[in-house]
Amino acid sequence: MEVIIATLAVHHSSEVWGKDAHLFKPERFAEGVAKATRDSMMAFLSFGYGLRKCVGFNFANTEVKIALSMILQRYRLTVSPNCTNFPFAMFTLRPKDGVQIMLHPL
C-alpha cells in the first residue's frame, strides 16, 4: 500500500491540496475548483489541459450534478458490506474492483 501511494503524482501535491492530499475529501470543492486548487490551473487535470482540453467539460459537469441530485432525492446510498475497495494505482488511484453501492429508497 505504501509503495502504491508513494508512486502517485497527479492530484496529490501537498502544496496545492495540503498535508491531507491523500484523503478523499470532496468538500475541498465546496467553493469551486479555483479555490480548491488555489488558482493553480495545472493542479486539477481530470479533463485535461490547454487546447486539447475535454470539449465535454461543462456538459459532463452539469450532467453529473443533475444525475446526482436526482438520485439523492430518491435514495440513500451506502457502501455494500461485500465491497473490498482495494486501492489500485494506474496513473490515478482507483478501486481495483469498483465500488459496490446499495441504493435504499427514501
For position 47 contacting ligand HEM by CB under 6 A, the verdict is: yes
Residue type (1 letter), 43: A
54 is in an annotated binding site: yes
* Cα gap 67→103, rounded to integer Å: 14
SS3 content of the chain, % helix, strand, coil (to 5): 35, 15, 45
Q: Would you say 46 or 84 has its CB closer to ligand HEM? A: 46
Instruction: Please write down the long-range contacts of 59-62, taking CB distance under 8 Å and 24 or more positions apart.
Output: none
Q: Which three cell numbers stand for residue 50?
A: 490547454
Nearest distance from residue 105's CB to ligand HEM, in Å? 26
Member of 24, 30, 32, 52 binding ligand HEM (CB under 6 A) = 52
Nearest distance from residue 57's CB to ligand HEM, in Å? 7
Q: Which of residues 53-92 bind ligand HEM (CB under 6 A)?
A: 53-56, 59-60
Question: Given the rule CB under 6 A, which residues bind ligand HEM?
Answer: 46-49, 52-56, 59-60
